Structure 1
């Protein structure tokens, strides 16, 4: 007697057979759909590739080595992330991703899914992106005029954190220090005085960045059908916006009542003047400011931290860069033009971003309709596409001694004097500054969807570092020179990065010593 006959004979209800039949049919259908929709692109994980969790755990053990191996062995491969699968392409296909039309490979759809913006920022972000226009246009065009405020806030923020007495060393947590300076300098532009120095506001901006990332990863861990429920339960949007409104609501109300126009010269006014009528209220304007803060704090503070780690790991660069800063500022003063005329500083920052980028993937796109690469690989609709970031920056065919830090790697002499003069540069090729994107340097992405705020970020990051190098002495605490300390090398101590599958996290506990120069 077979299993079906046994069930039939021992059941008083023929419907039991129907339940079993439906269950078996459902399993068969799911397996058939999986087979039909399987990726033609190689998938990391072998026979266990269907389980993102198992593949991610396998990837975690040797993240750096596996990133470089898959880059060398596969033109395009589907790699696991904690929150999704992402087909990741070799650097030779970067231009194809960058030039693909938005109705085929969508940048905004990928961002909205990756950040789960409905649950991390609110539903309006799915339809309105006017804050991007403000960053790309008004903010970038007004950088020279905004520089004095950013410089003033940078000096004050560092002074408040370090203290004024000369010849007195103070020990600071590097990550926290960078976050606070970047948050204050950025918010001097985003919300102005006195709010940019309000402790509650600053704490909210920093904590929001962490909350947003946690919620996005958590929601993406669930199947798409469950995400609305999970997102509704886990969202912190309302709580964060209520806190922001309690602190800054009256300031936005005053700005709204005073009226704005296209000639206004502050970020909040630009947001208001570009916002659709329905969003000209404190709640929606503050949501855009929270979004802008998230991007600025999350990336720029990590870059400052990264640069400080390398600066202290290779202190032989400090004096040369300091001399450049002093020479340039003696001629041009502390200005945007001066910051743009420091090729050694620019090269040092760019090398930091090359050798230790803040992720392994970049240029994420959502496939809206089947897209075929030049090598014949076809990405089906629904897939997420990205480019290798870490592996591209460590490709020996693109960078000689790619695994070795060379702070002046990007110093290049050029005869294009007119081009240099117009850009406020000295003797470097301005087309290769830290904010210039290419298929080989992807720190800010590449193509028309490259980071729109990279010009502001580059100015702010270099300004903060230039001020620290010129006005302060910095060094590691004595304890790091013990060979048993993780990160110790003969070349110089650098806190080891932490790898979590496709995520690279800078060391979060490292301390430095700092004092004001005489």
Structure 2
């Protein structure tokens, strides 16, 4: 899967951009509605449905991404999977193999997987017949899994279906949580919405009214807000997980025994004042200004961008195993945020005086999915 994402999905972003943007446009307006007056919306659930359709257009094709059976599976899979994982971890390690399959959450997970496999099987078989007879098939992840995954053991309908669910879990959870965090940040700090909206409008004017891939790269202030939000609210507290396969000694003399698990303290580094001045303050243009200074000093550079990996911010990992889907996720995230900000004003629910706190448990930090924001249509925004 990482190889397919790296070698096929990422190069395809440009040619799939138009179809993705069309899905995002329609899904945002459909899910958030007219909002003639200030309307309270539980935004996390809406974002997950928007992502299901937009990602589904690339992952599973235009004929299935609008099917409620698919949307339900994608939206619920992360919830059900996480609950099953937590319940299994509570069991005595010696009893897991005997008791795990009896847990209600594990049974619910298997039922969801079975429903999804039943749903996707006819399409997989139809595409196999089409490919055998030389017919054209959709240019999407489902086809790529069928044509490129066999060498890695992805052959049966079950293999293909479970890989699809795994992919949607990773893509939807991370992107949905990040989008929700950004909206929580902006709702609490409304003064930054207009500069972002102006940037989108100026970019659209310069790119024939379309958020093409080059146009999305032009949204540098939005990119900065996304990265600052991720710095303040990293989805994981540690990253770059590794296990030593053999004993070795670091250059500073530290001895690492074979079998040692290693992690990098992602959250702690992101709040280090020696790396990020005033680290506990949300500064939306922090990385935009870093990029401006870098351009003036060195004539360019991309180390400040949302998708860049570095030793300072590790949410995407580091090295050759850094998240291969971050380029796709960044574009999708910008599409969704741009469409929302162009169509709606957003603010905190009346009476709220602080940014909603995130939920921290284990090594994970997520936005509270039960919180609501107020949305109202922008007067001069298009209705379609």
Check whether TM > 0.5.
yes
Q: CA deviation at 1:375?
A: 3.7
- Name the count of aligned residue pairs: 368
| CA spacing shift, 1:283–1:502, aligned 2, 3 Å | closer
Once the two structures are TM-superposed, the CA of residue 371 in structure 1 deviates from its matched residue by 4.0
In structure 1, runs of 5+ residues without a counterpart are: 1-130, 421-427, 481-487
Please state if 1:302 is matched with 2:302: no
- Please name the residue that 2:122 is paired with: 250
**Aligned-partner Cα distance in 2 for 1:216–1:511:** 27
Question: Cα deviation per residue 1:220-274 (whole Å; 9 max; x = unaligned)?
Answer: 4456544433444444564233111222221121112211899973211111111
Q: Which residue of 2 aligns with 1:495?
A: 356
| Larger Rg over CA atoms | 1
Question: What secondary structure, in the 3-state scheme, does the structure 2 residue paired with 1:195 have?
Answer: coil
Q: What SS does structure 1 have at the residue aligned with 2:56?
A: helix
Please state if 1:199 is matched with 2:68. Answer: yes
Give, in whole Å, the separation in 1 of the partners of 2:316 and 2:76: 24
What is the aligned partner in structure 1 of residue 139 from structure 2? 265
Indicate the residue corresponding to 1:115 in structure 2. Answer: none
For residues 228 and 200 of structure 2, the distance between their equivalents in structure 1, rounded to whole angstroms, comes to 18
The match for 1:68 is: none
Aligned match of 1:142 = 12
| Distance in 2, Cα, partners of 1:371 & 1:455 | 34
Give the secondary structure class of the aligned counterpart of 1:184.
helix
Give the CA deviation at 1:501: 4.3
Cα drift, residue 170 of structure 1: 2.4
Please tell me whether the aligned partners of residues 243 and 260 of structure 2 are also in contact (alpha carbons under 8 angstroms): yes
State the secondary structure of the residue aligned to 2:345. Answer: strand
Aligned to 2:237: 360
Render the CA deviation track for 1:81-118: whole Å, top value 9, x for unaligned. Answer: xxxxxxxxxxxxxxxxxxxxxxxxxxxxxxxxxxxxxx
Partner residue in 1 for 2:287: 410
Deviation at 1:499, TM superposition (A): 2.5
Match of 2:272 among 395, 403, 427: 395
Quote the residue 2:311 is aligned against: 439
Supply the distance in 2 between the matched residues of 1:467 and 1:449 (Cα, whole angstroms): 32
Q: Is the 8 A contact 2:137 2:143 kept in 1?
A: no
Residue correspondence of structure 1 range 4-153 to structure 2 within 5 A: 131-153=1-23
Q: Is the 8 A contact 2:224 2:306 kept in 1?
A: yes
* Secondary structure in 2 matching 1:473: strand
| Among 136, 145, 158, the residue aligned to 2:28 | 158
CA contact (8 A) 1:171 1:513 kept: yes
Native 8 Å contact 2:303 2:310 kept in 1: no
TM-score, structure 1 normalization = 0.66
Shift of 1:510: 1.3
TM-score, length of structure 2 as denominator length: 0.88
Aligned partners of 1:320 and 1:283: how far apart in 2?
47
Query: Residue 303 of structure 2 aligns to a residue in which SS?
Result: helix
Number of the residue aligned with 1:212: 81
CA distance in 1, matches of 2:317, 2:172: 18
Equivalent position to 1:472, from 335, 344, 349: 344
Q: 1:320 aligns with which of 189, 195, 213?
A: 195
Instruction: Tell me: CA distance 1:256–1:263, structure 2 relative to 1, closer, same or farther (3 Å).
Output: closer
The corresponding residue for 1:291 is 166
Note the 1:164-179 alignment, pairs <5 A: 164=34, 167-179=36-48
Deviations 1:257-299 (A, max 9, x none): 2118999732111111112276333221111100100101111
For 1:155 and 1:380, locate their aligned partners in 2 and report how far apart those are by CA, in whole Å: 53
Quote how far apart the aligned CAs of 1:331 are.
Answer: 0.9
CA–CA distance in 2 between the matches of 1:163 and 1:499? Answer: 31
Q: Is the 8 A contact 2:28 2:339 kept in 1?
A: no
Q: Does 1:515 align with 2:376?
A: yes
Distance 2:367 2:250 in 1: 34
- The answer as to whether partners of 1:162 and 1:515 remain within 8 angstroms in 2 is no
Structure 2: 5+ residue runs without aligned partners?
380-384
Query: Alpha carbons of 1:341 and 1:258: their partners in 2 closer, same or farther (altered >3 Å)?
Result: same
After superposition, give the CA deviation of every residue in 1:462-481 in whole Å (9 maximum; x if it has no partner): 1111111112211222132x
With over 3 angstroms needed to count, the CA separation of the structure-2 counterparts of 1:290 and 1:357, relative to structure 1, is same
Runs of 4+ in 1 over 6 A off after TM superposition: 260-264
